[in-house]
Amino acid sequence: MKYEQLAREILDNIGGTENINSVFHCITRLRFKLKNESIANTEKIKSLDGVISVLQSGGQYQVVIGNNVPDVYKAVLEVGGISAEGSNEGEGGGGNIFNRFIDMISGVFTPVLGVLAATGMIKGFAAMCLAFHWLTETSGTYQLLAAIGDCLFYFFPIFLGYTAMKKFGGNIFIGMAIGASLVYPTLAGIMAGKPLYVLFSGTVFESPIHITFLGIPVILMSYASSVIPIIVATWFGSKVEKILKKMIPDVVKTFLVPFFTLLIVVPITFLVIGPIATWAGHLLGAGTLWVYNLSPIIAGLLLGGFWQVFVIFGLHWGLLPIAINNIATVGGDPILAMTFGASFAQIGAVLAVLIKSKNQQLKSISVPAFISGIFGVTEPAIYGVTLPLKKPFIISCIGGAVGGAIIGVAGSKSYIIGGLGIFGIPSFIGKGEPIGTAFWAVMVGIVVSFVLSFILAYLFGFKDPVNASSEKPIIQEGETLIERETLVSPVTGIVKALGDVKDEAFSSEALGKGIAILPTEGKIFAPASGTVTTMFPTGHAIGITTNDGAEVLIHIGMDTVQLEGQYFTAHVKQGDKIEQGQLLSEFDIPAIQAAGYDITTPVVVTNTEKYLDILVVDEKNIKEGNRLITLVI
């Protein structure tokens, strides 16, 4: 498992699995709910290879990983013996009301966010096809695209019934059943008929009554695409379910608990929770629009400027349900629309750093950060580039603020919750509406955000960090480098750059800097004198601590641990003292290759951070015993 070691180190330093209430992940972060955050070794976790940063916000302990977070999350579950189904259950309880609210919202929406973005992108593409007259509304192609795009949002209560009930610690299928009842097609058809009578006539709460339940009037509403009613209903349902579990005997609990839960919760939802929550949603939508209309420019400056700060602390989750509610109740949302330029401002600053910096390490971080930022995932850019440099981050906030003001003053709205970054552009095209000023204002806003941040960051944005490989001063004696140690090649073969290794743990230098060799002879010799600190039982990997303190890992082949020692013969054991050039292991190259394994052998210095520089040979072929790596003070 590629991320097993990282997962193990995170769990060890977070206080172990016994300190975890729950864990889930979003696009770039592991989000832990810890029993006691104070015992977590935050500084140690921040220093781990593969961890970008650690944040404590919204009642969550957030470990920022980046684009590989799904794989790390899977490793955390496997290493910690944590159930994926149970990793996000329960309401938690730590922190103040605001923190618990943010935690609840993120827990409910995170699992469905990817599919919500995907269907939104398809819906936006379908709207774009209509706007540019590529398709007609009656064409089969458009109707099928519209079905894919609308499927999740129309049946949103069912999906949220699942995620919300999971978050609240109840039976997820009861949550789905509650959600399904809210979008039951027959009830929607009843609403089209003539009402029996009207309640609250002449008020803002005027409601036609079409049916009654045990003589009690039922206020039918359209719950398709709604958010607040199902979240409140599932919360209530989880409480009812817990009470019933205590009352009903175990022998009939399996079916009687859901029976009575649904029989109680669904009618109360239609009679009380649904109407009140819907009215509250309409008031929330009207309230946010009222605040926005006070001054769209100021609203755009504030939201666009502080959006990335919200992302850092996880506070952006509080705006997501408001945006979804606005789309469902008033047809469009200007709130998140004003934040759209922020990610483009971020990558504008990153591009300036990438072009101007001479620091190779910073450049290597900036490239993937820029690419992921194009698609709206800005955490790698924030934590890896702009925030550590400080000024570029501030400049990106300025760029986002200016873009937000442009979008705000134009009254632009997003009509769907679609993709991020460039994939979010179709979200601003309304179904059947012509592309007008509001849409082009969004385009102007993101261009201005990007260009302004790029120019300011390039001209004033940062002091280039010292480059460890070229600019950092190297202690010299005349023209000779003072060497800490020289490691010779442990094997004869063809030299390859570590970045060309297929295993990302090595190619990303997560395990340390070094080089790789494609062996032509099946013998491994000691690259220096020292002690064998690790000899894997399978014989495929050897760890050495040299007499001068270098920690060296020699890994024979990729995934060869699966051979379980077959074709490997170890000549030393853990704890043995060794001399440079001593035979450590033999392996059968033809047999390993015939079994389908790559025999590329990385040689890495795992305590790289202790050295000023790691210099590797630039030769294509090397013999055992020739100089391979030079460690410099």
Show which residues are catalytic: 26, 555
Contact 26, 116 (CB under 8 A): no
Write out the two tokens for 203.
């008020």
Strands (E), 235-298: none
Give the N- to C-terminal CA distance of the chain in Å, as an integer: 34
Neighbouring CB atoms inside 10 A of 99's CB total: 16
| Cα separation, 529 vs 531, whole angstroms | 7
What torsion, rounded to 10 degrees, do the Cα atoms 515, 520, 524, 525 define?
-80
Name the 3-class secondary structure at 174. helix
DSSP 8-state assignment for residue 338: G
Phi, psi of 613 (to 5 degrees): -155, 155
3-state helix, strand and coil shares in percent for the chain, rounded to the nearest 5: 50, 15, 30
Q: Reduced to 3 states, what is the DSSP secondary structure of residue 551?
A: strand
Contacts 24+ apart (CB under 8 A), 99-103: 99/57, 99/58, 99/59, 100/59, 101/318, 102/57, 102/58, 102/59, 102/60, 102/314, 102/315, 102/317, 102/318, 103/33, 103/58, 103/59, 103/60
Angle at Cα 185 formed by Cα 179 and Cα 188, nearest 5°? 100
Q: What is the DSSP string of 204-233?
A: TT-EEE-EEETTEEE-----TT--HHHHHH
Beta-bridge partners for 163: none
